Amino acid sequence: MIRRRPSRRFANLAIGSASVLVYVFFYVPVAVLVLFSFNQARTGGRWGGFTTEWYSALFDNDRLITAAQNSLLIAVVATAVAVVLGTMLSLAIDRRTFRGRTAAQQVVYLPVIAPEIVTGVALLAFFSLTLGRLNDLLGRGAQDALRMGRPTIIIAHVAFCTAFVALVVRSSLRTLDPSLEEAAQDLGANAWTTFWRVTLPSIMPGVLGGALLAFTLSLDNFVITFFVSGPGATTLPIEVFGQLRRTISPEVNAISTLIFGASTLLLVGALVVQSTVSRQRSQRIRPLSRQPRNRAAQARATQATHTQLEGQP
Amino acid sequence: MDQHSQRGTVSLRKVTKRFGDAVAVNAVNLEVEAGEFISLLGPSGCGKTTTLRMISGFELPTEGRVHISGRDATDTPPHLRTVNSVFQSYALFGHMTVAENVAFGLRVKRRDKPTIERKVQETLDLVQLSDFGSRFPGQLSGGQQQRVALARAVINEPDVLLLDEPLSALDLKLRQAMRYELTRLHDELAMTFVFVTHDQTEAITMSDRIAVMDQGEIHQLGTPVDIYERPATRFVAEFIGEVNMLEATVVGGDGTRTEVLLSSGDRLTCAPVGDSRLTPGVSVVLTVRPQRVLLTPEGGIDSQEHASLRGELRELLFLGDSTRGTVGLADGTELVAVRHNEDGTHPFGTLRPGDRVDVGWRHGTACLVQ
Amino acid sequence: MMAARAARAASGGSGTALRRSAAPLLAPGLLWISVVYVIPGALILVYSFLTPKLGGGVVWQATLDSWEEIVARGRRSDAGWGTVGAAALRGIATAAVAAVPTVAAARYLGRRISRGLGFAALLGALAAVNHLASAYNNYTAVFARSVVWSLWATVVCICLALPLAVFISSRSSPVTKNALLIAVMVSFWTSMLVRTYAIRFLLANTGPLNNLIEALGLDRVVFLNTRFAVILGLVYTALPFMILPLYAATERVERAQMEAARDLGARPPQVFADVFVPMVRPGLTVGVVMVFVLSVSQYLVPTLLGGGKTNMIANLLELQFGEAFNWPLGAAVAALFSVVTFAGLYLTVGRRDQEELL
């Protein structure tokens, strides 16, 4: 039984109900979408009975399957490359001093702040120019010309994925005590061993988090991919966009539901992995330097000292 | 009653605070007089901070009333109370300069600008931070931040200043300096100070009165001398300073003296504490400060004026300014005596561990508690 | 013993590690990002000064046509001095109306009246510029619309995210906190396309919401292809970007500081304005920047929820690079947009916040 002032209670009520509204706002559209993916009625938002036929129809849709395969392949390759490049970048920026560090940093974070649409059209101009020149150089005609497709998509995805990996890894590098690495080197480990045995294991949660972010960003990217994909290779979001722009159909609801489910699973899985890794780490490493944060413990400690030092007031 | 004469008083009437099932403060009565420096002393979790927060208004008592300056303030929100607090973590506003921090209370009360500026400067002078007005709290040392926190509170001329363990984050030297500083401020401002601490030395050196708290209750309220020399409960005796405790049973006595039987088999007479419950058969604890304990070779104690016991010297410890002797009594209980070293001579003469000794104390220096 | 010393010697002096060159670590990633972002960005600027080729691409012949088109030639026939007067009037009217609440707020919070007036004047200026830009030509109109809609979305996001951030950070159990946060992150991680489509599906003319409205005996409402739908979509897609940084900032606010303000006599609204807001300001800035930048360059939301061809800047760009096939004109729009975005970022975000942002 805790007494509260009426004004306080009112404020808590207002904040609480606003928060509930935000969650309703977040989840009602998605919930409706999921619900209607099981709707028998072909058109309209009227419930016509339960069915899973739209899901089985998805698996007969070759274009969709191909696009999904493309998406996965691109995301895996882009993530793999970006994790390596991004981790290297964050190490360089955080653990080395060099001239032009600020400038390098700003270039690295360009993908985070640059409007995607501008990047998209700029890449369209860039790739069509370079591919055109390359085709001229190789003497390829209209039949066997190099066109935009999976390689160009991967090149673009690696760039922004690298930036985000660098961002995430750097935040975990910042919390890593540099004396840990110095200790390893002091004990005779060379730079390479230090990285593999000390630095990397310590920043692993960051690297995993960065990889997950990169993977999701690549899978979900629409705007940049829209401009750098060719007729030969589309990704899932491009393919779905093409469909839902034309019609509102239960199939689109079904594929959207699957995408939503997949990304939620991915997130939950990642959170579980990350928390496991960091828990293992915190069990393994217990820094001695940490003072008792607990105020009660501190108070007891001071009190003990006082009794010793000033027994006679 | 006249409101004016009550300015600066605080009165807690049967105040209880429960958090769920846990009782933080249990039916506490406390009358704080205007202008006094009162300390709430106790271990962490004893309810002293909760008591303070009920005076400042951040906690509402589950039962009971809180009166400030003679007015019932139980339901008054914190910003309308005529009290101000110095927080344990200082809680300075990091985005404001020192001067802006100090000016905050006047600014939200919409005082005019010249008044604010003048008072800020006066208050900064008072806490000896005259030249620090334009700095940010982050650029100051712990002791300086502490002074800013003080200035920010006293500039509002509250009826009562509440201090929640304000010295606990400082190191020993600074803490000692700030003790003096707080006493000086109290004298200059003539304001009521309610000071929460777990540190007996702080409480004893600064306060007019001390309320010793444990488990949500006030065990004893009194002057530092009262608390130190005449502890009312076993908890108070143990919590304040070092004390010898001897288990005993009351065997007799009258209005002027009480006779007890120690577990070592010795019979002693003690001054009563005015507690009528000390009837024969009641088990009590006899407490006596080591500084009051005499330690002599056998037969060296005048038993007319002193209570005396026989034992064996177990250990002598040189502590620099004093020497500490531990004596084992007949049943093995230990008794500690501490003496100041004077002129570099040994205060306990030629005594050596293993010697048979007498220990004793002047009648009236030992207390019986239950 | 000897072996250890030899090993240390072989490692080439471990203490020099920090002084070693950064180039091998830096070069690959930096090069890759430069190739994808810096070089094409420069190329866009070059393209904006070239001649369009029919069917897409450019002819390498310098011209100022595209810039002239944006700046001057595209001017609407009805734009003139009358427009300027109307814009001024509108600005003054907006400022006057806004001054009432802002001055009242300034007084209530114990701030100087001039601050309230200044804020009202800023809003008036914004309204006037918006009016001018909307009337001047199609390009400035699209820019103005994008900015205004994104500003609305940002304001709505702040209003929704603030209580939620406070709510989450005031939960005492870490399990509840994490659950509430994950519920936000799920939305953050869900594909932008799916989220936009969810709104489109819900609001469609024959969609579930309209069916519900009809079932209640009311007339169907046209939601899609309205300003309402676009701003709703912008808020829906950008809200997590406001909640997460704001929550992180709220979590760092010390309860004692808020109590100190109350103790010193500040009323709850004053505590909010004088202590809470300044303390969460870094997180708020990050959120505002992310929501605004994301919204102003949105392509999916105006396309799927706005319907029209030139709703926002992204639609204009897609039109020039897609159907209209005037790449230099598109390049000029893109260049102008980038310059405006980066300048805006530089002006709104101080150095300290930039650190926080990255």
Q: Chain C neighbours among A 170-189 (CB < 8 Å)?
A: 181-182, 185-186, 188-189
The tally of CA atoms less than 13 A away on the side-chain side of residue C87 is 18
Exposed (0-12), middle (13-18) or buried (19+): which is B298, by Cβ within 10 Å?
exposed
Within A221-249, residue ranges assigned H as helices are: 223-228, 236-246
Nearest to B91 among C259, C265, C278 (CB): C259
d(CA C127, CA C123): 6
Which residues on chain A are in Cβ contact (under 8 Å) with B20?
Answer: 2
Closest-CA distance, B197 to chain A, in angstroms, reads 10
ipTM of this complex prediction, to 2 decimal places: 0.86
Residues of B in contact with A308 (CB under 8 A): none
Best mutation target among A9, A309, A310 (most B Cβ atoms within 10 Å) is A310
In the 3-class helix/strand/coil scheme, how is B250-292 assigned residue by residue?
A: EEEECCCCEEEEECCCCEEEECCCCCCCCCCCCEEEEEECHHH
| Contacting residues of C for A197, CB less than 8 Å apart | none
> Residue C241 has what DSSP assignment?
H
Q: What is the mean pLDDT of residues B190-195?
A: 94
Report the pLDDT value the prediction gives residue B9, as an integer from 0 to 100: 95
Distance CA A257, CA A3 (A): 46
B241 touches A at CB < 8 Å: yes
CB contact under 8 A, C264 and B156: yes
CB contact under 8 A, A313 and B224: yes
**d(C-alpha A279, C-alpha C327), whole Å:** 53
Q: Which residues of A88-115 are buried (b: 16+ CB within 10 A; e: fewer)?
A: bbbbbbbbbeeeeeeebbebbbbbebbb
Q: For residue A217, what pLDDT band results from cuts at 50, 70 and 90?
A: very high
Categorize the per-residue pLDDT at A283 as very low, low, confident or very high, splitting at 50, 70 and 90.
Answer: low
Nearest of C261, C287, C264 to residue C274 by alpha carbon: C261
Q: Which of C30, C21, C1 is nearest to A191 (CA)?
A: C21
CATH of domain B242-369: 2.40.50.100
- Whether the predicted pLDDT of A301 surpasses 70: no
B79 and C267: CB-CB below 8 Å? Answer: yes
Chain A neighbors of C236, CB-CB under 8 A: 25-26, 29
Question: A35-50: string of b/e by CB count within 10 Å (b at 16+)?
Answer: ebbbbeeeebbeeeee
> Would the pTM count as exceeding 0.90?
no
Tell me the nearest-neighbour CA distance from B134 into chain A, angstroms. Answer: 31
A148: nearest Cα among A234, A74, A236: A234
**In this predicted model, which residue has the larger pLDDT, B30 or A174?**
B30
Residues of B in Cβ contact (< 8 Å) with C256? 87-89, 91
Amino acid at B231: P
Contacting residues of A for B323, CB less than 8 Å apart: none
* B275 or B258, higher pLDDT: B258
Residue B301, pLDDT > 70, answer yes
Helix (H, G, I), strand (E, B) or coil at B340: strand
Is A308 within 8 Å of chain B by CB? no
Check if C318 contacts A (Cβ < 8 Å): yes
Cross-chain Cβ contact A219/C331 below 8 Å:
no
% of residues, chain B, pLDDT over 90: 53
Tell which residue, B201, B202, B204, B182, has the closest CA to residue B193.
Answer: B182
**Cβ contact B102:B152 at 8 Å:** yes
The Cα B306–Cα B271 span in angstroms is 11
Domain range annotation of chain B: 4-232, 242-369
Residues composing chain C: 358
- Assess B77–C contact: CB distance below 8 Å, yes or no: yes
- Choosing among 3.40.718.10, 3.20.20.210, 3.40.50.300, 3.30.565.10, the CATH entry for B4-232 is 3.40.50.300
Residue A236 has pLDDT above 80, yes or no: yes
Subunits with 3+ Cβ pairs within 8 Å of C are A, B
Residues of chain C in contact with residue A158, where contact means CB-CB under 8 angstroms, are: 32, 36
Closest Cβ opposite residue C264 in set B84, B89, B95: B84
Contact residues on chain C for B92, CB-CB shorter than 8 A: 257, 260
State whether the Cα torsion A32-A38-A41-A47 is positive or negative.
negative
Contacts of A311 by beta carbon, 8 Å cutoff, 6+ apart: B241, B242, B290, B338
Alpha carbon of C23: minimum distance to chain A alpha carbons (Å): 8
Residue B277 pLDDT grade (very low, low, confident, very high; cuts 50, 70, 90): low
Are the beta carbons of B295 and B359 closer than 8 angstroms? yes
Answer yes or no: do C17 and A185 touch at CB < 8 A.
yes
Residue A8 and residue C176 in contact, taking contact as beta carbons nearer than 8 Å: no
| Number of B–C residue contacts, CB under 8 Å | 71
Mean pLDDT of chain B: 89
Chain A residues 136-155 with CB within 8 Å of chain C = 155
**DSSP collapsed to 3 states, A24-64:** HHHHHHHHHHHHHCCECCCCCCCCCCECCHHHHHHHHCHHH
Would you call B345 an interface residue with chain A, using a CB distance cutoff of 8 Å? Answer: no
Q: Which residue of C has its CA nearest to A132?
A: C57
> Which of helix, strand or coil describes residue A201?
helix
CB A227 within 8 A of CB A123: yes
Please indicate if any CB of chain C lies within 8 Å of the CB of B80. yes
Nearest CA in chain A to B228: A313
Buried b (16+ CB within 10 A) or exposed e, C172-183: eeeeebeebbee
Class of A68-283 in CATH: mainly alpha
Order the strands of the B63-68 sheet from edge to edge: B22-32, B10-19, B63-68, B71-72
Cβ within 8 Å of C, A 65-94: 85-86, 88-89, 91-93
Chain A residue numbers with beta carbons less than 8 Å from the beta carbon of C192 are 220, 222
- Average pLDDT on A228-252 reads 85
- The pLDDT value given to residue A277: 74
Predicted confidence band at A28 (pLDDT cuts at 50, 70, 90)? very high
- Average pLDDT (B261-267) is 83
- The answer to whether residue A310 scores a pLDDT higher than 60 is no
User: Which H helix or E strand runs over B214?
Assistant: strand B209-214
pLDDT of A75 reads 96
- Find which of C263, C270, C274, C284 to mutate to test the B interface (most B CBs within 10 Å of its CB): C263
Predicted confidence band of residue B369 (pLDDT cuts 50, 70, 90): confident
Contact A3 B62 (CB under 8 A): yes
Cα distance between residue A215 and residue A74, in whole Å: 9
- Which residues in B lie closer than 8 A to residue C264 (C-beta atoms)? 79, 84, 104-105, 108, 152-153, 156
Q: Is A299 on the interface with B (CB under 8 A)?
A: yes
* Tens-place pLDDT, residues B51-104: 999 999 999 999 999 999 999 999 999 999 999 999 998 999 988 999 999 999
Amino acid at C215: A
Contact with chain A for residue B224, Cβ under 8 A? yes
Q: What is the CATH number of domain C138-358?
A: 1.10.3720.10
B64, with CB counted inside 10 A (0-12, 13-18, 19+), is middle
What residues in chain C have per-residue pLDDT under 50?
Answer: 1-19, 358
A5 → closest Cβ in B77, B198, B338: B77
Domain ranges of chain C: 77-136, 138-358
- Section B293-313 average pLDDT: 85
Least confident among A91-100, A229-238, A278-287: A278-287
Q: Is B53 on the interface with A (CB under 8 A)?
A: no
Instruction: Indicate whether B124 pLDDT > 60.
Output: yes
